[in-house]
């Protein structure tokens, strides 16, 4: 089959361009919006080692997805840096034809000591989760008393290693950290780093999400613009999730991700692969499709490729557009598929 004919689109004519790969379901933080300690406590049963995809299995799947148009891979978790010998996987993925970018989302806790090796292995850039510069607020949100200074050290190390531009994600939750928005914007203004402010989303079932906890993107932009005037920027590519703004004085840019108040389902090009090999075609999906079973049953690449095409061509997900009338039901946990 000619390469161009292998590219697939779903029922809304959305191509498959991005694959997010969870390499572990474990994390060393217990953020309330993702892995609240009340649920993910000492007795929580994480995946056994044999249940998690091997590096060879991940690489094989990524190569098959690349044949269908995937150009960008993002490693997630849990916390991906907890996966042993992660640099070996990065080296393997970097060699796949058709992949233009290999990125990773991390909480930054181990980035200071790992950034140089990650870059040397072939990682292109990182996105770091940082929900506040206020140490007391940050420690409360990660709920393991982890200091903000160590994440800042990780961001600096990533920049020095060439994992740029470093993107910094702040999940904004009313009553917890919205009062620190300006502090974060001010701190990184004038740097090459790009902050993205994210509306608190109803991912999974364990974070106690309420609409009242959402700080709308428009309010976030208004808050920052009152201190530092902003100008809107055009999207850089189809399917970009962040609305971009530049500081009027030229001191950099920010982004806001408004998946609650202004859904972008119509341009979504992402698929998500869990650590144990289940594929989810939406961040808010309830059902995953088992690729580990296919891999370990001896299916050929062509057979797995046909399954990919079949799944994506039937895709019709648009949860965020329907949220007002569809907020219930089971959804996969964010920690399981990496957001």
Q: What pTM was estimated for this model as a whole?
A: 0.92
**Residue 72 backbone phi and psi in degrees, to 5:** -130, 130
Model confidence over 192-221: pLDDT tens digits?
Answer: 999 999 998 766 555 556 788 899 999 999
Alpha helices in 41-162 (DSSP H): 55-67, 86-94, 111-121, 135-142, 148-161
Q: Which residues contact 253 (CB under 8 A, 6 or more apart)?
A: 194, 233, 244, 245, 246, 247
Is the Cβ–Cβ distance between 74 and 22 less than 8 Å?
no
Average pLDDT, the chain: 90
Of 34, 95, 54, nearest in space to 277 by CA: 54
Domain residue extents for the chain: 3-337
Residues comprising the chain, all counted: 339
Is the Cβ–Cβ distance between 312 and 10 less than 8 Å?
yes
Q: Just give the CATH number of 3-337.
A: 3.20.20.70
Is the Cβ–Cβ distance between 149 and 175 less than 8 Å?
no
Instruction: Return d(Cα 209, Cα 188) in angstroms, integer.
Output: 29
Give the pLDDT of the chain (339 residues) as one tens digit per residue: 444 446 899 999 999 999 999 999 999 999 888 888 988 998 999 999 999 999 999 999 999 999 999 999 999 999 999 999 999 999 999 999 999 999 999 999 999 999 999 999 999 999 999 999 999 999 999 999 999 999 999 999 999 999 999 999 999 999 999 999 999 999 999 999 999 999 987 665 555 567 888 999 999 999 999 999 999 998 887 667 889 999 999 999 999 998 888 877 888 899 999 999 999 998 878 789 999 999 999 999 999 999 999 999 999 887 666 764 444 556 567 667 776
Instruction: Return d(Cα 260, Cα 220) in angstroms, integer.
Output: 13
CA 117 to chain centre: 21
């Amino acid at each position: 089959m000619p390469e161009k004919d292998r590219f697939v689109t779903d029922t809304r004519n959305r191509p498959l361009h991005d694959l997010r790969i969870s390499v572990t379901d474990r994390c060393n933080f217990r953020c309330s919006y993702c892995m609240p300690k009340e649920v993910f406590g000492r007795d929580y049963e994480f995946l056994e080692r044999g249940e998690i995809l091997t590096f060879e299995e991940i690489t094989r799947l990524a190569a098959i997805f690349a044949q269908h148009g995937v150009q960008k891979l993002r490693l997630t978790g849990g916390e991906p840096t907890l996966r042993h010998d992660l640099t070996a996987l990065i080296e393997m993925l970097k060699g796949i034809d058709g992949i233009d970018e290999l990125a990773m989302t991390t909480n930054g806790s181990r980035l200071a000591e790992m950034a140089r090796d990650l870059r040397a292995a072939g990682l292109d850039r990182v996105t770091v989760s940082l929900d506040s510069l206020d140490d007391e607020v940050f420690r409360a949100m990660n709920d393991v008393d982890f200091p903000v200074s160590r994440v800042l050290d990780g961001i600096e190390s990533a920049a020095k290693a060439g994992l740029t531009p470093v993107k910094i994600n702040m999940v904004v939750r009313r009553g917890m950290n919205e009062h620190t928005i300006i502090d974060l914007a001010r701190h990184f203004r004038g740097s090459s780093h790009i902050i993205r402010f994210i509306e608190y989303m109803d991912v999974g079932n364990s974070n106690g999400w309420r609409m009242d906890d959402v700080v709308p993107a428009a309010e976030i932009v208004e808050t920052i613009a009152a201190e530092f005037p902003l100008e809107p920027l055009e999207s850089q590519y189809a399917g970009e999730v962040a609305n971009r703004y530049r500081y009027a004085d030229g001191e950099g840019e920010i982004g806001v991700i408004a998946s609650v108040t202004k859904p972008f389902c119509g341009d979504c090009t992402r698929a998500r692969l869990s650590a144990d090999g289940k594929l989810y075609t939406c961040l808010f999906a309830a059902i995953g499709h088992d690729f580990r079973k296919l891999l370990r049953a001896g299916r050929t690449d062509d057979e797995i490729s046909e399954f990919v095409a079949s799944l994506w061509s039937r895709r019709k997900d648009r949860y965020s557009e329907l949220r007002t009338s569809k907020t219930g039901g089971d959804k996969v946990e964010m920690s399981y598929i990496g957001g």
